[in-house]
Chains A and B, each alone.
Chain A
Amino acid sequence: MSRNLRWSALVLGMLGTAGALALHWMVFFWVPTERTMGVVQRIFYIHVPAAWVAFMAFGIVALASVGYLWLKDERLDRAAVSAAEGGMVFTSVVLLTGPLWGKVAWGTWWTWEPRLTLTLLLWFIYLGYFLVRSATENPERGKRFAAVVGIVGALDIPLIHVSVQFFRSLHPPPVVLKPEGPTLDSEMLVTLFVGLGAFTLLFFSFFLFRYGLEYARNQMVRRGTPSEVPGLSGGLS
C-alpha cells in the first residue's frame, strides 16, 4: 500500500470519525425532537446517510465493473470490490436502523414497504457479488463474474424500485429532495448534512483501506505466496 494511499485513507477516516462523533452529539443533544414521531425520529440522521452511501457505493461498483470489463485494469476491479464491501456495511446499517424505527413508528419490525424491500434486495445483490467472486478457482474469472453481477444488479435496481413502488408504498415520503424544496427544520437539515458528510468520508476511508488491502493481496498472489493465506481469493473475509 503506497504511502499516499495510506495517508489519505487515514485522514479521511479521522475526519469521518470526527464527523460521526459530532453527528451523534447533534442527534442526541442538539437537534429538536420531531413533533409527530417523537424521539425515535432521531435515528433518521443515521439511517438516511447510510442509505445514501449504500446506493452511491453500488453506483461506484457498477461504473468500476463496466470499466474493468472494458479495460481489464486490475485497479478498477480493486475499486469495485472495495466499494462493494463498504456498500454492504452501510446497507446493513440501513437494514438494522430501519426496523428499529419501524417498530416504534409503524408498530412492526418489518413490512413489505418498497424502500425496505429495495434495500434488502440490494443487500442480496451484494451478497451474490461476493459469493460469485470467491467461488471460482481462477481469481480472474471471479473478478469478471462479479463485474457482471455488479452491472446487471445496477441496471435492475431502478426496475426493482419501480416495481416494488407499484406493489405498495408506506415509507415516509422524501423530505429533502422534492420539488417544493426541503420541509425539514433548518437544525434538522444541518444534522442530516453532517451525517451525509461524515458517512461519505468514512466510506471513502474504508474504500481506500480496502483498496490497499486488495492491492497487497494481489501482490502476494503474484509473488507466489502459498494459498494458505486466509481469504486470499477475496470476498467476504
Chain B
Amino acid sequence: MEYLRMLGAVVWKDLVVELRTRERFAAMAGFTVLVGILFNYAVDPTVVDPQGIAAGMVWLTVVFGGMLGLGRTFHLEEDEGAFQGVLLSPIPRDALYLGKVVANFVLLVLVTALVFAVFGLFFGLSFGRAPGTLAAVVALGTLGFVAVGTLFSAVSARTTMGETLLPILVFPLLVPVVIYGVTATKSLLAGIPAAEVEGNLRMLAAFALAALAAGAILFRHVVEE
C-alpha cells in the first residue's frame, strides 16, 4: 500500500509538471500532426489506399513522436541536480521507475489517441468493428514501448550523446511491438474480427510485462552513483 502511494506520488508529480508546462505533450502533439501532413505529400492518397498503410503510418508516427517525449523523461530533473533530491527520497528505485513509466504511459496514450483521431480525419480512415480491441492493442503496445523507452531514457540522459543515443538503443528492441502492433491494427482497421488478433494481444502483453520487470530490476543500476 505504502509502495503504491509512493509510486502514485511520482506519477502525480510528473503529470502535474507536465500539465503546468505542457512541454513534452506540445512537442509530441505538434510533431505527430505535422508528420500526418507530410505523409499526405509523401504518400499520394489517390494512388495508395490510405486504409492499407494506415496501421504502419500510425505506429511509426507514435514511435518517432514518442522518442521526443520519452527522451526528455528525466530532463527536468537533470537541471540543478534535482534528480539527486528524488533519489534521496525514501522511494524504492523500482517504484520510481514504475511511476515514471505510468506518467509516460498516460502521456503517450493521449498522443496515440490524437494520432488516430488526426490520421482518421486526414485520410478518412474507419476504425473497424472492434474499437475496444483496437484500444487494447494500442494500450499494450504503448505500455511495452514506454517501459523500454523510460529505462533507456534514463541511460541516454546520463551519456554525453544524450537523446541522440535513445533511438539507437531502443529501436532494435522495439521490433516485436511494431510487428505485433502494426499487424493487429491493420487487421482491425480492415474489419477482421477481434478474435483473430488475440495472439498479437498476448504477445504485446508478454513484451510489456517482460519489459516492465526488466526495467524495474535494472533501473537501480542505471541511476545509482
Contacts and interface: CB of A to CB of B under 8 A. Distances in A.
B13 interface: no
B150 to A, nearest CB: 12
A160 B176 contact: yes
Interface string B173-184: 101100110010
A153 interface: yes
B125 interface: no
Contact of A144 (B165, B210, B221): B221
A159 interface: yes
A163 interface: yes
A132 B179 contact: no
A76 B161 CA distance: 25
Given A148-B155, A152-B214, A163-B203, A131 B176 contact: no
B221 A121 contact: no
Contact of A148 (B161, B165, B222): B222
B159 A136 contact: yes
A136 B158 contact: yes
A131 B221 contact: no
B17 to A, nearest CB: 26
A149 B207 CA distance: 16
Interface in A150-193: 151-153, 155-156, 159-160, 162-164, 166-167
Report the contact-size class of chain A (Cβ under 8 Å from the partner): 20 to 34
Interface string B151-195: 110011011110001001101110110011001000000000000
A103 interface: no
A137 B160 contact: yes
A152 B173 contact: yes
Contacts of B171: 124
A167 B165 contact: no
B179 A164 contact: yes
B218 A131 contact: no
B117 interface: no
Contacts of B176: 156, 159-160, 162-163
A9 interface: no
A104 interface: no
**Interface-centre pick from B148, B161, B206 (highest chain A CB count, 10 A):** B161
B222 A131 contact: no
B59 to A, nearest CB: 14
A145 B173 contact: no
Contacts of A163: 175-176, 179-180, 203
B214 A128 contact: no
Interface in B16-30: none
A130 to B, nearest CB: 11
Contact of B175 (A132, A141, A148, A164): A164
Interface string A111-138: 0000001000100110110011001110
Nearest to A160: B175
A132 B165 contact: yes
Contact of B221 (A125, A148, A166): A148
Given A148-B155, A148-B218, A164-B179, A128 B169 contact: yes
Interface of A: 69, 117, 121, 124-125, 127-128, 131-132, 135-137, 141-142, 144-145, 147-149, 151-153, 155-156, 159-160, 162-164, 166-167
Interface of B: 148, 151-152, 155-156, 158-161, 165, 168-169, 171-173, 175-176, 179-180, 183, 203, 206-207, 210-211, 214, 218, 221-222, 224
14 contacts: A121-B172, A121-B175, A124-B171, A125-B173, A128-B168, A145-B159, A148-B155, A152-B148, A152-B151, A159-B210, A160-B172, A162-B176, A164-B175, A166-B203
Which A-B residue pairs are the 10 nearest by beta carbons? A163-B176, A135-B159, A124-B172, A163-B179, A135-B161, A128-B169, A121-B172, A159-B176, A156-B173, A69-B221
